[in-house]
């Protein structure tokens, strides 16, 4: 497969990620039922597809983002990979557990890993966003939406619950625009 095809695929992954983020926002905002097994099963795919998008964005802009971009990409990817695990646990494990079991897990190592993953994601998204902003290779409004959306997503454990769905919505817009940009730019990108 050519690198151009991989960039295009990463862009499509971003569009898929945006669609799932919109679904998650609708579910968390009570626009659709929160107890559907299919929505819980789809929720973690946002991070999985997002990892592919972020990799494509970084590779497409790596020469211009330099060391700051590399650090941002590494932290963003580690955080997003951690959040992938968090989403699996929140959506596929916790619904099967009693509240005391969930509290015990959140007050132990599981809660610590959730927090570390969120911090890595927030620092990484902000750092990568700053590097991409500086390079000028992608739409600044799309980058801003991604980074602004990352704040309530990463801090959902400490911010009021009401800010999480709008944060998902803002992030979906940023991710969708970045994915679309990558799809459109793919023919002009080199390896």
**Spatial contact of 47 and 84, defined as CB atoms under 8 Å apart:** yes
pLDDT at 34: 80
This prediction has a pTM of: 0.92
**Spatial contact of 145 and 171, defined as CB atoms under 8 Å apart:** yes
Burial 139-158 (b: 16+ CB within 10 A, else e): eeebbebbbbbbbbbbebee
**CB-based contacts of 63, cutoff 8 Å, min separation 6:** none
pLDDT at 157: 84
Residue 35 backbone phi and psi in degrees, to 5: -110, 20
Q: How many domains, in total, are found in the chain?
A: 1
Per-residue pLDDT tens, the chain, 191 aa: give them: 788 889 999 999 999 999 999 999 999 888 888 888 888 899 999 999 999 999 999 999 999 999 999 999 999 999 999 999 999 999 999 999 999 999 999 999 999 999 999 999 999 999 999 999 999 999 999 999 999 999 999 998 888 989 999 999 999 999 999 999 999 998 888 65
Domain boundaries, position 123 = 3-188
pLDDT at 190: 65
Output the six-digit token pair for 100.
């005391």
């Amino acid at each position: 497969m050519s690198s151009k095809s991989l960039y295009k695929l990463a862009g499509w992954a971003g569009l898929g990620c945006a669609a799932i983020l919109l679904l998650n926002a609708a579910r968390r905002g009570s626009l659709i039922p929160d107890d559907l097994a299919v929505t819980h099963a789809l929720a973690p795919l946002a991070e999985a597809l997002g990892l592919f998008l972020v990799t494509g964005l970084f590779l497409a802009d790596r020469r211009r983002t330099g060391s700051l971009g590399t650090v941002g990409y590494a932290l963003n990817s580690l955080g997003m990979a951690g959040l992938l695990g968090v989403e699996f646990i929140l959506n596929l494990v916790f619904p099967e557990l009693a509240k005391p079991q969930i509290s015990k897990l959140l007050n132990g190592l599981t809660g610590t890993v959730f927090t570390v993953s969120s911090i890595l994601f927030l620092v990484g998204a902000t750092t990568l966003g700053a590097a991409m902003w500086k390079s000028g290779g992608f739409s600044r409004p799309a980058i801003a939406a991604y980074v602004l959306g990352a704040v309530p997503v990463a801090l959902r454990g400490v911010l009021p619950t009401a800010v999480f769905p709008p944060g998902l919505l803002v992030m979906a817009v940023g991710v969708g625009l970045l994915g679309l940009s990558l799809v459109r730019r793919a023919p002009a990108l080199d390896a």
